[in-house]
Structure 1
Amino acid sequence: GTTRYQLEGQNERVYFNSMVVLDENVSRSGAVALYDKFRLVPFGELAAAQIIPFGQSISDYLPGAMQQLARNGFQPGTGPAVIFADNVPPFVALICYEGLYPEITRAANLAARADWIVLVSNDAWFGGGMGPAQHYAQNRYRAIESGLPMARVASRGASAIIDGYGREVLRASPVQDAPSGWSTTFGRGKLPAPAKVTLFQSRAGVVLFWLTLAGFVGLAFATWRR
């Protein structure tokens, strides 16, 4: 994962939060494939001026440091994607916050069938506490829903391989001789085969969720009327 920019208009820099696939020829040919995060975090990656009416004008009254945050966000990418690269099975690309949304994995996988999921994240934003563990647990559901194994790589969080049933098959271990001040983990393992997914599971999406929610709402309303 990396931040990148491209020039638009009068040499204006437009920034993206991206996943980049590289090979041994990177110095000559550049990136093999790119994916730009499109589900951006409000006020963290998506500037306030982009989501609040008259946000650009309002930002003029903020302190200097907050003006920078309010005005200069990332540009969203084009949408869910399956990445194809030589010698790598096709995979659904997810960056951080996108791993919380079932519809992203489903949309990408329906457009072009993938063999696995790659999720990169910076969990340092959560600080201490339960945040990183909760984020990891929620990400594992994307593997269960799609039946696809997942390789998750996270700064200050769990880096692991998960099978299509949501089971952790490998957890990266701390590197003993890591540079002073750095917390580094490393893991190497075999990617599990995709799990068998039913037609309902792959096509119905969140229908079961909404039916269940409607049932609970109906039950609550009926109880209240009594």
Structure 2
Amino acid sequence: MSRIDGVIGRLQRLSGWRRHALLLLLGALLAAAQAPLYVWPLAFVTLGGLLLLDAAAGRGWRSFFTTYLFAYGYFVAGLYWMGIAFFVDAARYAWLSPLPVLGLPLLLAAFPAGGVWLACRIGGRHRGGGHGAVWRMLLAAAGWTIGEWLRSHVLTGFPWNLVGYVWADHPAVMQMASVIGSHGLDLVTLLAAAGFALALRPGAARRARFAALLLPAGFALAVLGGALRLAAANHDMVPGVWLRLVQPSIAQTAKWQDELRQRHLQQQVALSIQPAERTPTHIIWAETAIPYLIDEAGTLRQALGHIVPPGGALIAGAIRRSFDAAGHMTVYNSLFALNGTGTIASVYDKVHLVPFGEYLPLRDWLHPLGLDALAASGIDFSPGAESGPLAIAGLPPVRPLICYEAIFPDEIAPAGQMRAGVLLNITNDAWFGRSSGPYQHFASARMRAVEQGLPLVRDANTGISAIVDPYGRIVASLGLDRIGVVDGPLPVALPPTLYVRWGDIPAILFSLLVIFVNIVIGRRRIKD
């Protein structure tokens, strides 16, 4: 181990631009562990490297900037695709693309960095020695978890690419989310990385190295438990339900062209009625798939009613508007369920809107800068009212999720509402082309299925459209940027998971407990 100790020791002593470059590189490599690459060993390598560098940073601002640079590199590399949306209308907005790519990570990185810094600042009274290094890394893992939980809630929240999502294509690991959720999966991944880092820490005794490996060993045992859960999994399907998900793969640049709207509608109708070995009972279209105000177009609704299977429904996204007594218009991003007569049986208005995408925060301030047109061509969408699951003929109670509503773990089952029997996510990821963004979006949605113990039905304009069972396994899917349909059954929901009952409380409480215990131990040592 002497050679490895020497290398790690030299890396810990780096300063200036070399240290900064290493941290940015490690963070960027962590993004490769996320979708679509899923190079999961990089999660342990990069997070372990961060913890080793942070352990040598002390408790001052050097510690904050150690994690900040790492997280900044991670978010820039993982969220580069956000800039692609600005090239849909490149002549007007291409110049703004650096704002989300380089600017947003400046804010996002502050959450894990602030969490790690505060945890080590408040609880880190140990300096030097083996026990000090152990507690330092445990504090860093706890602080990162708390910081990322805050990132999921502050300023409407943005829980994209949580560390735990590196396991979104590994069902055995994903099963932990049914108990501790995605933030808990963040925490156990960081703890396993801390175990590897402690085992490689320069100067550690052999006994301490073996003891440190208990952390990744515990992670491995949890994975084994997930594999056993899958081995005993329920494979039942909802009787009498056969779904058809329509994926037209319409480019965002063509989606709203007046001369193409009718063609796009006809394409989706043709895909909906194409022959199949088994006739579908429910047809599902993507977010804003109907390029007309469907609730104001009775003739169009009647025409669409002809493709609705008997006793089933056509479920599709469209824009909806309403007017108050004064004539002021309100616009919603909505999901409609049509029956065989073309009647609107159910409507859901999106509740959690995308800032800068569906509405512009601080519009009065940003209007003089010419930025007001970024949100829906200058018109803000309004959030819908919270409501329980939708009743759609022939389906279990449906929890609709439009676009990025699927990325919020704690908003899937609002308190006091009846439990749904299926998660239905319609989205339009065409804004982001053939980038990693749509893959990451799908990964997040799959985690919701495991957390809730509910099947996920996901229809995306350009993909990835899929049916996912409550264990996170893909039943049927159609890849990115492909034209076609996904036909398949609807898996039966599981009983409420432990995560449904407890939410993120165990992960946050454990993280706070690590900080509290370290404070107590530190005070006792000072008294001694």
What range is the shorter-chain TM-score in? 0.7 to 0.9
**1:68 to partner: Cα distance:** 3.4
- Paired residues for 1:25-174 under 5 Å: 25-26=341-342, 29=343, 31-48=344-361, 52=362, 55-56=363-364, 58-63=365-370, 66-69=371-374, 72-79=379-386, 81-107=388-414, 111-172=417-478
Gap regions ≥5 residues in structure 1: 175-181
Residue type at the aligned position of 1:158: I
The corresponding residue for 1:178 is none
CA contact (8 A) 1:140 1:166 kept: yes
Rounded to whole Å, the distance in 1 between the matches of 2:519 and 2:430 is 42
Residue type at the aligned position of 2:382: Q
Secondary structure of 2:494's partner? coil
The corresponding residue for 1:12 is 328
**1:124 to partner: Cα distance:** 1.5
| Pair 165,171 (structure 1): closer, same or farther in 2 beyond 3 Å | same
The corresponding residue for 1:202 is 500
Residues 124-152 of structure 1 show CA distances to partners (whole Å, capped at 9, x for unaligned) of 12333211111101101111011010100
**1:201 to partner: Cα distance:** 2.7
Rounded to whole Å, the distance in 2 between the matches of 1:118 and 1:191 is 11
Q: Considering only aligned residues, what root-mean-square deviation do their CA atoms show, in Å?
A: 2.7
Q: Aligned pairs, how many?
A: 206
| Pair 221,36 (structure 1): closer, same or farther in 2 beyond 3 Å | farther
- Paired residues for 1:178-189 under 5 Å: 183-189=482-488
Rounded to whole Å, the distance in 1 between the matches of 2:356 and 2:323 is 23
Residue type at the aligned position of 1:201: Y
Q: Which has the higher strand share?
A: 1
Rounded to whole Å, the distance in 1 between the matches of 2:356 and 2:518 is 36
| Pair 193,130 (structure 1): closer, same or farther in 2 beyond 3 Å | same
Residue type at the aligned position of 1:62: L
Rounded to whole Å, the distance in 1 between the matches of 2:339 and 2:398 is 16
Structure 2 length-normalised TM: 0.36
Rounded to whole Å, the distance in 2 between the matches of 1:220 and 1:157 is 47
Gap regions ≥5 residues in structure 2: 1-316
Percent same amino acid at aligned positions?
Answer: 34
CA contact (8 A) 1:141 1:166 kept: yes
**1:163 to partner: Cα distance:** 0.4
